[in-house]
Structure 1
Amino acid sequence: MTFFPDMGRAWRRHWPHYVAEAAGIGFFMLCGTLLTILFEHPASPVQQALAGQELLRRAGIGLGMGLVIVVLVYNPWGKKSGAHINPAVTIAFWQLGKIRWADACWYMLAQLAGALLIGQLLKLALGAAFAHPAINYLVTEPKPEHGQLVAFGAEFVISFILMLVMLLALHHERLRKSTGWLIGALLLLYITFESPLSSMSLNPARTLGSAVAAQSYAGLWLYWVAPIVAMWLAAIFFNRVYKGQTMACAILAGCEAAPGSPHAREPHATEPPVYPQAVAK
């Protein structure tokens, strides 16, 4: 059995990348909470100025979170880890053979740890503001007026589209380095127009971090099943359409994998390469 030795070797080689994933999802949730308080808390002057303008408030949050994603993707740590910050994204890349199983396990553990930790820290630091019904710990739960079936379908569709756009952009030579901006644009659209249907999660770890902080688990299963299955199927679809064609890079910033990262072929490694080698010019 090689599970524990492989996990140990992966940790010793790549632990900074796992820390980057945990910090990335923590930063994402921190910004999401602060933006939601800014636009939705009744005591906020922005909320008061936009009272009755729910669509504009959601657009403001969406624009802010889109820019947060851009920062996460293109900062030096994001370029190193790949800026997955989402177990569903990591599973999809593993399905494509772009990340070794031990690294994928550590990525997902780091993402979950980061989300759970920031949820508790926000609860401790923000107290009543984080718990206010307008913020509600940033939980993603099915809307009562739509129910779980609509929420599941909406999460599935937006997750499938997000992953497919991501893969198509990374496969396209001219769009590769704009992938982070495309993801940010999709987040803006999703938060503005889709969130009334499902609360807009896309990310099982983020949903779990908020759910544990709120001690509220309504519909939690669908925010795990829908994004993971949808992104996994998007990866399978992409692989069938582009079978035999490789992506020069699968890091979301569109950069080449740095030597020694979980995304680079290592000398004498027995695992498959994480990302294909760049196509020779």
Structure 2
Amino acid sequence: MIRKYIAEGLGTALLLISVVGSGIMGETLADGNTAIALLANAIATGCMLYVIITTLGPISGAHFNPAVTLAFWIRGEITTRPALGYVAVQIAGGILGVWATHLMFDRTILQSSTTDRASIGLWSSEAIATFGLLFVIFGGLRSRPEAVPTLVALYITGAYWFTSSTSFANPAVSIARSFSDTFAGINPAHAPMFIGIQIVTAIVATGLLARLFSDE
């Protein structure tokens, strides 16, 4: 289990480094062009997802997301104690990844985001984004398991653009991004609603997708 916890923590840290780091770099180089900054953010995140799922998937299953871990727990594919351990290291890894990114870009390491993300549109977006992510994962596992890294990377890259929230779809990411007052940040007061919607959607989606992708 130690190897699995390390893989989950490291993978989530690398994911946040890609999200926050590309956000900072994109915003700096785009000179005020938000579209270019978002494009850089999306591409870098998709690339990192492909890499970490491919390399760390054989070790831990490559959850990197408490909502995904919750879904696998509901499906009975991970027991309670390891699931709680996964969630703990995912959250810790995400925060450490944000701090490492701040250090890398010569920013104040300890920050709190001031970016407001609170509206019905954004909340519904997170529900759709989270459902879509689980759809891609379980659909991919059902039809072409070897393609899951590519499917998830492509989905998140696209979801940056077709969801109004830019597809957080991950409670650990929502928590970690509240510690960064950069392009990728979210006001800490607004993160709990994102997290709640992601968790509720994961519960509902797991039941629906179990029927959709059933062998029967």
Q: CA deviation at 1:125?
A: 4.6
| Residue 168 (structure 1) aligned to one of 124, 139, 143 | 139
Kindly provide the amino acid, as one letter, of the partner of residue 170 in structure 2: N
Q: CA deviation at 1:139?
A: 7.7
| Shift in CA distance, 241/34, structure 1 to aligned 2, threshold 3 Å | closer
Kindly provide the amino acid, as one letter, of the partner of residue 198 in structure 1: S
Give the whole-Å Cα distance in 2 for the aligned partners of 1:222 and 1:151: 10
| Residue 42 (structure 2) aligned to one of 62, 83, 87 | 62
Does residue 19 of structure 1 match 2:11? no
* C-alpha RMSD of the superposition: 2.5
Where does structure 2 lack aligned partners over 5 or more consecutive residues?
A: none
| C-alpha contact (below 8 Å) 1:163/1:231 kept by paired residues | yes
Which residue of structure 2 lines up, in the alignment, with residue 257 of structure 1?
none
| Shift in CA distance, 216/74, structure 1 to aligned 2, threshold 3 Å | same
Structure 1 segment 1-281 matched on structure 2, within 5 A:
14-41=1-28, 44=29, 47-48=30-31, 52=33, 54-75=34-55, 77-128=56-107, 141-142=116-117, 147-172=118-143, 175-194=144-163, 197-214=164-181, 216-243=187-214, 245=215
Q: CA deviation at 1:213?
A: 4.9
| C-alpha contact (below 8 Å) 1:37/1:129 kept by paired residues | no
Count of aligned pairs between the two proteins: 212
Give the whole-Å Cα distance in 1 for the aligned partners of 2:98 and 2:77: 30
- Please state whether the residue corresponding to 1:120 is helix, strand or coil: helix
Kindly provide the amino acid, as one letter, of the partner of residue 25 in structure 1: T
| Shift in CA distance, 140/79, structure 1 to aligned 2, threshold 3 Å | farther
Which is higher, the Rg of structure 1 or of structure 2?
A: 1
| Shift in CA distance, 29/118, structure 1 to aligned 2, threshold 3 Å | same
- 1:18-59 Cα shifts (integer Å, max 9, x gaps): 111001010111122221122112xx3xx14xx54x334322
Kindly provide the amino acid, as one letter, of the partner of residue 50 in structure 2: V
| C-alpha contact (below 8 Å) 2:138/2:213 kept by paired residues | no
- Please state whether the residue corresponding to 1:128 is helix, strand or coil: coil
Q: Percent identity?
A: 22
The TM-score, its normalising length taken from structure 1, stands at: 0.68
Where does structure 1 lack aligned partners over 5 or more consecutive residues?
A: 1-13, 247-281
The TM-score, its normalising length taken from structure 2, stands at: 0.87
| Shift in CA distance, 242/70, structure 1 to aligned 2, threshold 3 Å | closer
- Please state whether the residue corresponding to 1:228 is helix, strand or coil: helix
